[in-house]
Each structure stands twice: as structure tokens, then as C-alpha cells.
Structure 1
């Protein structure tokens, strides 16, 4: 791991250096971290993060057959001080998870995301740490040893009019054995007392998911945020031009639909053999609200919560990925293969 230590040291020397204009930094993690008898399932590395700057662009990179997921967090203190550590347990990312902020997530094959010019992701009022997390694979080949999983970030010291923050929606429980069309639902009231424009969103499952959807529910009316086939790579869809706002009193709701042909249940969890159901909702607020909203989460249990028990007039297309969706429009103009 000596090469890795050197690489991390070089990264540490560069990140957050003072520059008057926008600048780019690259975070890298060798795929060798996920090979051999001591391989990680999730690997984390930390780098110092300069205060009161903004991240305005994420460009992840991974070779074919590389890593499953990448994610970026900020925290006041990393869970470990060593160069790279195992962090499949979400409590092992930051020492104080109550002050952890999720910034961005990606999976293999997806493009990056450039935030709208009027917004950015603030690094905080005091110096913190940026945590780069990788979910590796168990089927990496030797010829990948010289490749890297990396992300290029663009920083600026200029404060934009609005701060973009992230709210994560998720599911616990399990997918029953021998079940087709099983749905998991989550819904939570909007958590702050101001309206906020939705800048972008991403929807995600693992291998058993066949449809995911997200909605705003306003006075009984369902407003579609997006529907995707999660068997494609997870894009962050930029919908700033739709001028879709979430208002106090709204409910944000997500549904994932699964086919489980196995004779055993599939648990929700963080391993690749587990399942997930996530909506990552990026929205923009005035700077004074940003600290109040960071790393807010909404979660439900697949066996205990169902839309049908709470809502009327559930959209019939909630488990249908056809039609004029952000994903289908993207697929018409860009090459994007299904996940393997």
C-alpha cells in the first residue's frame, strides 16, 4: 500500500490550495484496495477541505469493470486517520455522523454533473474534511491494477446566489423471496419552512430493481419529479430549467419496484448483494439556510410503510419506466449501457 500512501499524500498537498479563480482537484483510489485477501468492500480516504468555498462540478472516472459506486461526504473529522480504511458501515465515514453531509453519489457508467451557474455546494464555515468513498467489486481483474477510480472536482471561492444541498430518501427491510413487482415506498413532509427549487435528482437500486419513481404530493395532487429504469447507470438529472419547487406542506415520495426470483429474501443494506432504494434530491436554498438542511434523511421500512395505506390517487405509472421521461430522453441522444 506504499504507492497508495504516496498518492494520497500528493492529493493532500493539492486539495484546497488558495487560488483566485476556479480550480480543479483530482481524488484517486487504486483499485488494488479492493483486491486480494484483505480487500475492502467500501474504501474511504479523507483530504482536508478548505472552508467557505464551493464545489460546482463533479466528474467521476472509472475503467470498465471498475467500481460500483462513488460517493463524496464532508465531515468535521474523518472516522480514521490512516490513508484508506474500510467504511461499509455508514457510521465509519465520519467520527460525528450527526455532522456528516452527503455531497454527491455516482455509479459506473454515468456522466458527471455540472451544477447550474447560480448555485454550488458550500464547503462550510470552518475547515473540514472531504471523504471520498468507493464501493469496490469482487470480480476485478489483474489488468485493472494500474487503473484508478477517481473524481475531478471544480472549486470556486466566489459565493453563488444559492447553496445546493442534498436530502436522501431510503428504505429498510427486505424484498420477499419469489416475488415479482414488489414495491417499497417512502414519503416525508418537506422539512424546512421555505420553498426551494429542485436542481437535480438521482434514483437508485441494486440488481433487483426494475423501476424507481419520485413525486411531490401537494394538496392531494401528485407532481412527478422523475421515473427511471435503475438497470441503467445512476445519473444525476439536472432539472433546474423545469423550475420545479418544493413548498412547505409538500410531501416528497419515492417508490422502487423489484423482481426477486430467488428462493430467499433480499435484505436492504450496503453490500452489493443487498438491495437499496434511494432518491437523492438536490435542491437550492439561500446561504443562511444551508447549515440547517445538510444531510437530512427520510427513511421507511418496506414491510411497515405503503403508499396505499396513506394516500389516494397513486399515479398508475409509478412502476412504469416508459414514456417521456428524463431518462428516456437522455437515452435517445447518449450512449448509456445497462449495468452489468
Structure 2
């Protein structure tokens, strides 16, 4: 049995290596260019231009960061980057950040923003399924890749040290028949003091496309206890049927995990997410960019077998106390307990 298991494992490893080699996968470092973060809660972006004459398919991501340095990282695909600088201040509220910085202030993308990858809490490498890739380059909406790093704390840089956090992109020039995309569900809103609050969001798939979910990622700051995401399909009698796509404690490593159900999401289906937040503080906590604020995000990674990924990239609601799933008969048959407990 021991020898049999050894040969079986060896065969599996050999087959996996053959698959990787057959794709001619290469690695590209998209890293911060030795930056020196000079204040807490700083968001920095750095871009790379995709070659003008080649189409590439990103098939994996290897993070080069630790949570002691980076609070989180996002990788955007852009039609145009926020600026032409080597790096810039790119928090979503950059224009309202302190004016004593010499850095240009701009959003990650000037045009055509797509989230491709997200990382936090020492998450490990991500490999996409076979024959699935993010298509970038000529003829696509992604002409630039922009790395965003959030530096929540800067103690380690006070001695003048610099940083090269980022991600190694695994890519191939061989066409992948299943094109990947990401849709981000999130909320605004506020969490009352000494409360357990549900932050909820949903959106209907109105495009004539079938998407196949394969991975999900949850993200909150410190108050998150459970984040759950669903596919909701309404029958002809008006009853909603909920299919769990993913559920997780968001304070564990925040990478993309395999979805619980890979059945396709059809036109007319609704994607819905809930973050259960516990606020033990005596003050309100609002959604915002800093470590002292909160976020409620559910990322769904998917592929399409035909055509291009969804035009819709983001799906946000105003959050509590202005939006809940059950407002104005938005959704029914809600799995209230299942959505809030691990």
C-alpha cells in the first residue's frame, strides 16, 4: 500500500508538472518600487503597462507580502492608470488626505477599473483552475495592471527602510478558453455601538451571460465575525431559493477559497452577501478606508465559457441602517441563521 500510494502521488505530481510546463507559464514581479511609507493608513499604487502587441492570460498569483507590513493588497486591471507616475497616493479618499505629501493623488484607475486579485492576512498563493485565465492586453479592457498596497502601520519604516511588497503574476501567452472575472459585493453604512449588525448587499445579473463561480474571498476589518455569499433564484411563484457560494470568518487568511457550489449563475439570478459585525465599542464604527473603520466585502471569482466576463464589476449598497435584504420585499425566504453563523 505504501509503495502504491508513493507511485500514485508521484504520478499526480508529474501530471501537475506536465500541465504547468505545457502552458509555458512565466512569472512577472509586480512589486512596489522600494517605496518609503511615511504615514499610517497610506495607500500606494504602482502600474505596469501590458505589452501592446501580445495578449496574456494570468493564471495564478504569488503574494510577496506579510500582514506585519501590508494591511491588504488589491490588483486592478485598468484601461488607463490613475497617473503616469511610478507610484502615487491612491486611497479612495486620496484627494482629502494630508497635503504635506509630495506624491500625486489619484485613484488606482483613471478609466476601466476591474478588480483582479485581492490579498490580506498572510494569504497563500492562488492558482486558477485548468484552462481559466484573466485575459489582458490588446482587444481587452485591461491595458494596465495596477498594484495597490495599504500600509496601516509604518513603525518598521521609521529607520528609513523601504518596501517591495506586491505579487508575482503567473501568466501564459497560450489562450485560455475560459475567461476569468471578479465581481465585488460591498456595503456602506455604520455599525451601532455595543451591537451585532448585519451589513447586506445584493445585485441582479441583468446581462445575457452565464457565469461559473469557482472561488470567493471575504474581507472585513476587526469587527467582522462571518461573511456569507449566496446565489438567489426566484421561482415562478415568487419564492427565493438560496444557494450558498461561500462563508467564512473574515479574520482568517483572506485569499480566494473554492466556492461551496459551482453551479452556474444565470441571467436574472441575484448575488447576495451579508457581513455579521460585532461592535463592542461605545461608539459607532463607519465604513471607511482606515484600520479603525470597517469594510464589508464579498468577492466572487468566476469564468465564462463564451464571450467576455461581466461588464458589471462592482455591486454596492448603502448598508445599515439604509439597506437590508428584506426592505421593500427585495428578497424573501432569507436563511437568516445560516447566513450569520459558521
Name the TM-score, length of structure 2 as normaliser.
0.79
Closer, same or farther in 2 for the Cα pair 1:85/1:295, shift >3 Å? farther
1:247-274 CA distances to partner (integer Å, 9 max, x unpaired)?
1221111000111122221111222222
1:95-122 CA distances to partner (integer Å, 9 max, x unpaired)?
22xx111111111211121001121000
- Pick the aligned partner of 1:158 from 170, 174, 179: 174
- SS of the counterpart of 1:33? coil
Which position in structure 1 is the counterpart of 2:200?
A: 185
- Pick the aligned partner of 2:70 from 67, 70, 80: 67
1:109-165 CA distances to partner (integer Å, 9 max, x unpaired)?
111210011210000434721101101122432589366312111111111111001
- Pick the aligned partner of 2:123 from 110, 117, 135: 110
Judging by fraction of residues, say which structure has more helix.
1
Which position in structure 1 is the counterpart of 2:45?
A: 44
C-alpha deviation, 1:88, in angstroms: 0.3
Which position in structure 2 is the counterpart of 1:55?
A: 58
Which position in structure 2 is the counterpart of 1:15?
A: none
Distance in 2 of aligned mates of 1:33 and 1:78:
21
Q: Is the 8 A contact 1:68 1:137 kept in 2?
A: yes
Closer, same or farther in 2 for the Cα pair 1:256/1:124, shift >3 Å? same
Closer, same or farther in 2 for the Cα pair 1:275/1:178, shift >3 Å? same
1:256-307 CA distances to partner (integer Å, 9 max, x unpaired)?
01111222211112222221111111111145223xx245211111222112
Closer, same or farther in 2 for the Cα pair 1:123/1:186, shift >3 Å? same
Which position in structure 1 is the counterpart of 2:245?
A: 225
State which drifts further: 23-32 or 222-231.
23-32
> Deviation above 4 Å: which 4+ runs of structure 1?
none
C-alpha deviation, 1:234, in angstroms: 0.9
Closer, same or farther in 2 for the Cα pair 1:193/1:59, shift >3 Å? same
- Pick the aligned partner of 1:22 from 21, 25, 40: 25
Show the 5 A alignment for 1:137-148. 137-142=152-157, 145=161, 148=164
Which position in structure 1 is the counterpart of 2:313?
A: 296
Show the 5 A alignment for 1:305-320. 305-309=323-327, 310-315=330-335, 316-320=337-341
- Pick the aligned partner of 1:175 from 191, 216, 220: 191
Distance in 1 of aligned mates of 2:182 and 2:292:
26
C-alpha RMSD over aligned residues: 2.3
- SS of the counterpart of 1:188? strand
- SS of the counterpart of 1:141? helix
- The number of aligned residues is 294
- Pick the aligned partner of 1:246 from 259, 265, 286: 265
Closer, same or farther in 2 for the Cα pair 1:297/1:64, shift >3 Å? closer
1:236 aligned onto 2:250: no
- Pick the aligned partner of 1:76 from 58, 76, 79: 79
C-alpha deviation, 1:218, in angstroms: 1.3
- Pick the aligned partner of 1:269 from 260, 264, 288: 288
- SS of the counterpart of 2:110? coil
Rg larger in structure: 2
Q: Which runs of 5+ in 1 are unaligned?
A: 1-19, 322-340
1:43-85 CA distances to partner (integer Å, 9 max, x unpaired)?
0001111352110000112135110111111212211222111
- SS of the counterpart of 1:95? strand
